[in-house]
Amino acid sequence: MGGACSGKPADDPAPPAAVAAKTAGKAKIYAMPPSQNSCGSILLALDLGVGELELCDLMKGEHKTPEHLAIHPYGQIPALKDGDFCLGEGNAIIRYLALKYGKQYYPFDTSPQTCGKIDFAMDAFSNVYKTHTQIVYTVMGFGAAPTDQPAANEAYVAALNKWFDIHVKDQKFVTGDFPSIADFKVAPFMFSAIQPAAKINLGFEAPARVFKYCEDFIAQVGASKFLMEAGGFSIQEFMKSKEDSAGDAPKRYTPGSKVIKAPAPGDIWKQTKPTEKLKVYLMPPSQNSVGSAMLALDLDVGVTELCDLMSGAHKKPEHLAIHPYGQIPAIKDGGFCLGEGNSIMRYLSLAYGSKYYPAATDPQACGKIDFAMEAFSAVYECHTQIVYPVLGFGAAPEDQPAANKAYTDAINKWFEIHVKGQKFVSGDKPSIADFKVAPFFYSAMQPVMKKKMGFDLPERAVRFCNDFKAAVPTASKYMDDAGGFSIKEFCASKE
């Protein structure tokens, strides 16, 4: 998201110019062809035959015009307009398209576990993205070169290999021989990484696994021609224009040359409680984890299990078998394991609590929920400058009053866009988006934040916390009482 506090560059910077593309489909994807953050949405819309690219020229400031802000209120790309429905954030757009038009790429009504794997791969790609920007963005002119390019190259290779080891393994794609929305998301990044300019300019060479993955994806998806040809501004064309010297022409894959049909759908999933309650591994003060715990408790399908980061429990083989990145939250549901808070909450809803994420009945409601969850990253970055220093999780900012104001502004903007005049993101009843954000706002309203940081949580967020606790009375007690280490208790210990 944009803003002084944001650490997530949701928009790719713009190339010098781009060629407009006529929209012939129903849905319009507002973006620029070289934007890897946007291409996944474009490819999926093209593949499904439901929409096409609508140029949003960042160099001309079109993303900040009233017309575009009415579609994407943060003034970013990609953005979607499907009839009267508008949406931002690449992950949210891709998932919306799958829920409404292409469940073969996200089997939400038949296999929550498959969707959990897909979501985990999408969310965990953030680890690759951080290193990707040091290579591809540098070549494209979207950012300065790192101080140690060889080290950056090694870090990118390591991140790519780890992502493949965990999420693809010896398969073609994340879920097997047939791609998923996770593959549509990551393929543009992978394809940009194998372009000759990266090796010519920076000495970077992607692992062989990445080349094979790109070959398989392009052979399956005819729409991948967009990665190669877009009036001179596709990823391939744009990267070619950045070569410092003549390089070998990239291998010419043929889009859609080896298409595999989607597997037959399974039986419709019936939401019933598990025979044995699943476990949510976390630490009670972790705001990133508490949403998953509260949702499992509210649905009466899970229990909490302490993972003591202070003793290194998250790096032990037992935990790494559950969450291979060695992080929290993590869940174990029978033999199924999953990491990443957003992925866990969506899995819990698909498997046990559709009322909080109505994938089978209301794609637009789910789109709004996903947009709110993804866009919360802008609030989170500011949150870490206030709450985390108090809890001992980070150093205080150099200018605390400025950090306080930035956090207040980010909170207010999030509510104005995603909640408006309602109680919650979806109206009078909470959704998984509200379970996600409630622990953060609740920690920020604790008295110690004002005493130590001079920070007052905006009244709208305070009212949200009170409404959430009233709507989820039993599970929300976990924020108040967890053996001395709940959010409320831990904050009080810091006064």
- Edge-to-edge strand order for the sheet containing 336-339? 302-306, 278-282, 330-333, 336-339
Q: What string of DSSP letters covers 398-449?
A: S-HHHHHHHHHHHHHHHHHHHTTTSSBTTBSS--HHHHHHHHHHHHHTSHHH
Look at residue 22 in the predicted model and tell me its pLDDT: 37
Q: Is the pLDDT of residue 242 over 70?
A: yes
Look at residue 250 in the predicted model and tell me its pLDDT: 66
**CATH topology for 27-103?**
Glutaredoxin (3.40.30)
Angle of CA points 447, 412, 28, to nearest 5°? 145
For 363-492, CATH gives 1.20.1050.10
* Cα distance between residue 426 and residue 405, in whole Å: 27
Pairing of strands 27-31, 51-55: parallel
Q: What is the pLDDT of residues 76-101, one digit of tens each?
A: 999 999 999 999 999 999 999 999 99
Domain boundaries, the chain: 27-103, 110-240, 278-354, 363-492
Look at residue 26 in the predicted model and tell me its pLDDT: 85
Place of tokens 């819309």: 45
The CATH H-level (homologous superfamily) assignment of domain 278-354 is Glutaredoxin (3.40.30.10)
The model scores a pTM over 0.85: yes
CATH topology of 27-103 equal to that of 278-354?
yes
The band of 331, judged by pLDDT with boundaries at 50, 70 and 90, is very high
Q: Is the pLDDT of residue 9 over 50?
A: no
* Cα distance between residue 118 and residue 405, in whole Å: 37
CA atoms within 13 A on the CB side of 24: 3
| Architecture of the domain spanning 110-240 | Up-down Bundle (1.20)
Average pLDDT, the chain: 94
Look at residue 377 in the predicted model and tell me its pLDDT: 97
Alpha helix positions (H), 148-207: 149-167, 181-193, 196-202
3-state SS, residue 30? strand
